[in-house]
Amino acid sequence: MAARLIPRLGSLVDRVLGREAEASAPAPRRSNPDAVVDCAVYVNGRREPGRPHYAEAYARSRRGRNAFVWLGLHDPGAAVMAAVGRTFGLDELVVEQALADGHRPTVQRHDEVTLLVLRTASYVEHAELTATSEVIDTGDVMVFLGDRFVITVRHGASGALTPVRHDIESRPTMLAEGPWAVAYAVAARMVDLYLEVAAHLEKDLERVEESVFARDRGADIQHIYQLKREVVEFKRAVLPLQEPVRALVSDRAGGPPPGLRRWFVDVEGRLSRAVERVAAYDELLNSVLQSRLAQLAVDQNNDMRKIAAWAAIAATQTAVAGVYGMNFTHMPELTWRYGYAGALLLMATAAVVLHRLFRRSGWL
């Protein structure tokens, strides 16, 4: 009897110990999707070590004081964005908006979540301007701001936010203001990019202006049109941002805290400079384009005058040859020995005289 009980007790002990071992084993950590560029928890303006899953990071931020999570996404898919929306309690309409690109800069309020949309811009280096040159690459970034979280969703290759994260992490006092500090850093970065692109555009405009008024050869009209299209695209990214930034600076509920409001005022000032430069470039391009069109009209007029002058010279030869080619019996000088040579001399003399007259008048 004892011999039979010993194996049963042994198996029971192994089973209990196995369950305890399974209970004590740590659960496997979830990894962030590929669309997640970075995820971190910030407490009192300082980043906590590690890169946890966004659900764990959000839960940790809700348990702590003066804590929030910053989740950075780049071109997320529908499944990833839906999961993020469920975790952070985002509205379904907002989640659908985050999946599309090409949004107009705006600021919206959805319950307890504020949505700030900005356009990104970057200058595309090129050896020379052609009819198909891409001068400016644009995208957009959407910033979702909650009480304990900030989510940035970026579309396109331009406007990477890694430098923004590194810069704001080096300023813990500002980062301690909460999610709106990230919104300020992103907006400031976008405006700085606008000013950088505007500086590069100014050099392109100087080269185009020089080529238009060059003596040897004017600029191709298609190149000017291409640069004009790129400037218009840049203008659509910069100018509409004025109203959202102005709304954030004003004393509206749900905006940035008072400690950050003056920083948004600084962003508004730099954005005004970018807007003025873009508007000036657009007007300058219009002037350059009109000047080139006027040059083309003048060139066409000169060509038409040259054609008319040569046609008049040729008409005199045709008139003389036509008269003496009628073959009437009684014609002056028809039987003259030197009539043929005289006709050729008359034709040559008329051509030389007309050519000199047209040259003197500027037609040739």
pLDDT digits (tens, 9 = 90+) for 45-85: 999 998 899 999 999 999 888 899 999 999 999 999 999 99
Q: Domain 302-361 is in which class?
A: mainly alpha
Asked if pLDDT for residue 128 goes beyond 50, the answer is yes
Domain span(s) for CATH 1.20.58 in the chain: 302-361
Q: Is residue 27 very low, low, confident or very high in pLDDT (cuts 50, 70, 90)?
A: very low
Domain span(s) for CATH 3.30.460.20 in the chain: 36-297
Q: Which residue has the higher pLDDT, 253 or 149?
A: 149
Asked if pLDDT for residue 315 goes beyond 50, the answer is yes
Q: How much of the chain, in percent, has pLDDT values that exceed 90?
A: 38
Asked if pLDDT for residue 357 goes beyond 90, the answer is no
Q: Picking from 173-177, 274-278, 331-335, which range would have the lowest pLDDT averaged per residue?
A: 331-335
Q: Picking from 119-123, 248-252, 328-332, which range would have the lowest pLDDT averaged per residue?
A: 328-332
Q: Which residue has the higher pLDDT, 18 or 274?
A: 274
Asked if pLDDT for residue 23 goes beyond 60, the answer is no
Q: Is residue 6 very low, low, confident or very high in pLDDT (cuts 50, 70, 90)?
A: very low
Asked if pLDDT for residue 353 goes beyond 70, the answer is yes
Distance separating alpha carbons of residues 136 and 229, to the nearest angstrom = 10
CB atoms within 10 A of CB 311: 10
Q: Which residue has the higher pLDDT, 327 or 244?
A: 244
Q: Is residue 5 very low, low, confident or very high in pLDDT (cuts 50, 70, 90)?
A: very low
The predicted pLDDT at position 314 comes to 87
- Report the amino acid identity of residue 87: T
Asked if pLDDT for residue 333 goes beyond 70, the answer is no
The predicted pLDDT at position 13 comes to 39
Look up residue 148 and give its DSSP letter: S
Q: Which residue has the higher pLDDT, 270 or 289?
A: 270
Q: pLDDT of 252-283, one tens digit each?
A: 656 888 888 899 999 999 999 999 999 998 88
- Residues 278/234, Cβ–Cβ less than 8 Å: yes
The predicted pLDDT at position 167 comes to 93
Q: Is residue 142 very low, low, confident or very high in pLDDT (cuts 50, 70, 90)?
A: very high
pTM for this one? 0.74
The predicted pLDDT at position 29 comes to 53
Distance separating alpha carbons of residues 275 and 347, to the nearest angstrom = 66
Nearest-CA neighbor of 208 among 271, 150, 126?
126
Domain 36-297 has CATH 3.30.460.20: yes
Nearest-CA neighbor of 103 among 164, 155, 158, 180?
155
The predicted pLDDT at position 253 comes to 55
> For the stretch 24-35, what's the b/e string if a residue is b when 16 or more beta carbons lie within 10 angstroms of its beta carbon?
eeeeeeeebbeb
Distance separating alpha carbons of residues 251 and 257, to the nearest angstrom = 10
Q: Is residue 26 very low, low, confident or very high in pLDDT (cuts 50, 70, 90)?
A: very low
Residues 6+ apart with CB under 8 A from 149: 58, 61, 68, 69, 70, 71, 88, 179
